[in-house]
A and B are shown apart, each in its own frame.
Chain A
Amino acid sequence: MADSFNFELVSPERLLLSEAASEVIIPGADGDMTVMANHAPVMTNVKPGIVEVKSASGSSNRYVVFGGFADILPDGCTVLAESAVHVDDIDREALEQRIQNTKEDLQDAKTDAEKSRIAEHLDNLTTLQSAV
């Protein structure tokens, strides 16, 4: 059996998940990354996407997160998500609404830097929508 580490998924409203996991896939700002036990300390931005948790007992769960941070240490990993829900509980209409809002933001954006940032965010959201 692979080594396990303590994984925590926290949203501002509550502590969503705290368990021993063997493998966690995080949608990092520079691409997806898989975290396993004894990972080097990394701190990364999380983009909107799906966090996949393989717990030490073998079961696997998927959570949708909308941005946040991951704090990775050799013996633990904490994802601070701005908003997180289990894939099964995702509210498709809310997601649609978010995409709509982002599109409007894109039209209102003034500077190029802002535009590219929002476009990237929109891209992440649409990818997410097709994934769930």
Chain B
Amino acid sequence: MPSLKDLRNRIATVKATQKITKAMQMVAAAKLRRAQEAAEAARPYSQRMSAVLGNIAGAVTEGHDTPHLMTGTGEDVTHLLVVCTAERGLCGGFNSQIARLARERINALQAEGKEIKILCVGKKGYDILKRQYESLIIDRVDLREVKRIGYSDADTIAKQIIDLFNHGGFDICTLFYSEFKSVISQIPTAQQIIPAGTGNSEAEQANGGAVYEYEPDAETILNDLIPRNIAVQIFSALLENSASEQGARMSAMDSATRNAGEMIDKLTLSYNRQRQAQITKELIEIISGAEAL
């Protein structure tokens, strides 16, 4: 049975923790709003980019000139998995969900006998994956210093990936991130970025319709456009990720605050009971002492 003093200390500790989780929740809420705004502001660019890409993909006849980034190497041996996670923890199942999806994919691909390379973006994903797949991780990108994710960050990652691809480092590249649905629901997603899927370009081309003139020519533009498109996809994935991270942290900290509140209630109850018991005990002692006289 803890003494009254112990209980008082416990209550004080839990109260201090509750204050911290509450503050973290509010910070996450503010950051979430900003992250959501950033993700929304970036949407027009990626939408138009895919429209332009769809247009131009229809114009360039599939031939030798079509860049490899679009058609792929024609093989399916080496897979590069780009796993984007958060830099910090304390955000519920956010990081582990992404890591789990990546792990499932790795195991499935390994069972098929494919070669796998992993590029970690964000510290937490690296920490989780290195336990099992340290030898497969080729590099990690640290965004810890980055306050606000800018396009240049995504561009750097994209350049690194494209460089690797041009040197024959892999055949297929898949991006792992968490799609932001709402504050309480973030969906870990795998998206193939190389070779760029041309599946939906048909539909997008239909609304363009017009016969374009290309300056200098379609291949040159396409060669320039596809690396940029990859950077844009990574950029929007990073933005979705940061919104998801803040959302996950917000709900995690909300439930932590609530748990702390429940704990305080319980501790206060037993504290009061014990105090009452002590008072009663003292009274009995006094009364029985008086009776004995």
> Are B52 and A69 interface neighbours, CB within 8 A?
yes
A82 and B212 contact, CB distance less than 8 A = no
A residues near B218, Cβ cutoff 8 Å: 43
CB-nearest residue of chain A to B232: A12
Contacts of A106 in B (CB 8 A): none
The answer to whether A14 touches B41, judged by C-beta atoms less than 8 angstroms apart, is: yes
Size of the B side of the interface (Cβ < 8 Å), in residues, is: 33
CB distance from B227 to the nearest CB of A (A): 11
A78 contacts B48, C-beta separation under 8 Å: yes
* Mask of B63-105 contacts with A, CB within 8 angstroms, 1/0: 0000000000000000000000000000000000000000000
Which residue of B41, B56, B151 contacts A82 across the interface (Cβ within 8 Å)?
A: B151
A71 to B48, CA, bound (A): 9
Query: Are B213's CB and A41's CB within 8 A?
Result: yes
Decide if the interface of chain A is mainly helix, strand, loop or mixed.
Answer: strand
Docked CA distance A29–B214 (Å): 11
Interface residues of B in 210-227 (CB under 8 A from A): 210-216, 218, 220-221, 224-225
* CB contact under 8 A between A69 and B221, given known A14-B42, A43-B56: yes
Chain A neighbourhood of B56, CB < 8 A: 43
Are A41 and B45 in contact (CB-based, < 8 A)? Answer: no
Residues of A within 8 A of B45 (CB): 10-15, 80
Provide the residues of chain A in CB contact with B150, threshold 8 Å. 13
Question: Taking the nearest CB of chain A, how far is it from the CB of B43, in angstroms?
Answer: 9
The answer to whether A12 and B215 have CB atoms under 8 Å apart is no
A12-B232, A45-B224 known; A30-B215 Cβ under 8 A = yes
Return the contact of B213 from the options A42, A45, A74 (Cβ within 8 A): A42
Cross-chain contact A13 with B214 (CB below 8 angstroms): no
Q: Which residue of A lies closest to B225 (CB)?
A: A69
Q: A12-B42, A14-B42, A43-B52 are in contact. Are A29 and B212 (CB under 8 A)?
A: no
Residues on the B chain within 8 Å of A15, using CB: 41, 44-45
Contact of B221 among A11, A44, A78 (CB under 8 A): A44
Q: Let me know if A71 and B52 touch, CB within 8 A.
A: yes
> How far, in whole Å, are A10 and B42 apart by their CA atoms in the complex?
9
Please report the total number of A residues contacting B with Cβ < 8 Å.
24
A43 touches B48 (CB 8 A): no
- Is A28 close to B, CB under 8 A? yes
Residues of B close to A69: CB separation below 8 A: 52, 221, 224-225
In the complex formed, the residue of B with least CB distance to A18 is B44
Residues in B neighbouring A14, C-beta threshold 8 A: 41-42, 44-45
- Minimum CB–CB distance from A102 to chain B (whole Å) comes to 14
Nearest CB to that of A74 among chain B residues?
B210
Tell me if A55 counts as interface (CB < 8 A to partner B).
no
Hey, which chain A residues are within 8 Å of B151, CB to CB? Answer: 11-13, 82-83
Please measure, in the bound complex, the distance between the C-alpha atom of A28 and the C-alpha atom of B220, giving whole angstroms: 13
Within residues 7 to 26 of chain A, which ones have a CB less than 8 A from any CB in chain B?
8, 10-15
Q: Does A90 contact B (CB under 8 A)?
A: no
The reply to whether A42 and B214 contact each other, CB–CB distance below 8 Å, is: yes
| B214 in contact with A44 (CB, 8 Å) | yes
Q: Is B235 an interface residue (CB 8 A)?
A: yes
Q: Mark B221-244, 1 if CB is under 8 A from A, else 0.
A: 100110010011001000000000
User: Which 5 pairs between the two chains have the least Cβ-Cβ distance?
Assistant: A14-B41, A44-B215, A12-B151, A41-B210, A15-B44
Residues of B at the A interface (CB closer than 8 Å) are: 38, 41-42, 44-46, 48-49, 51-52, 55-56, 150-152, 154-155, 210-216, 218, 220-221, 224-225, 228, 231-232, 235
Other A-B contacts than A11-B45, A13-B150, A15-B45, 15 sampled, CB-CB below 8 A, are A10-B45, A12-B45, A13-B38, A15-B41, A15-B44, A41-B210, A41-B213, A42-B214, A43-B218, A45-B215, A69-B52, A69-B221, A69-B224, A74-B210, A78-B52
21 A/B residue pairs, CB under 8 Å, sorted by A = A10-B45, A12-B231, A12-B232, A13-B38, A14-B41, A14-B45, A15-B41, A29-B215, A30-B215, A41-B210, A42-B214, A43-B55, A43-B212, A43-B218, A43-B221, A69-B52, A69-B225, A71-B48, A73-B210, A80-B48, A83-B152
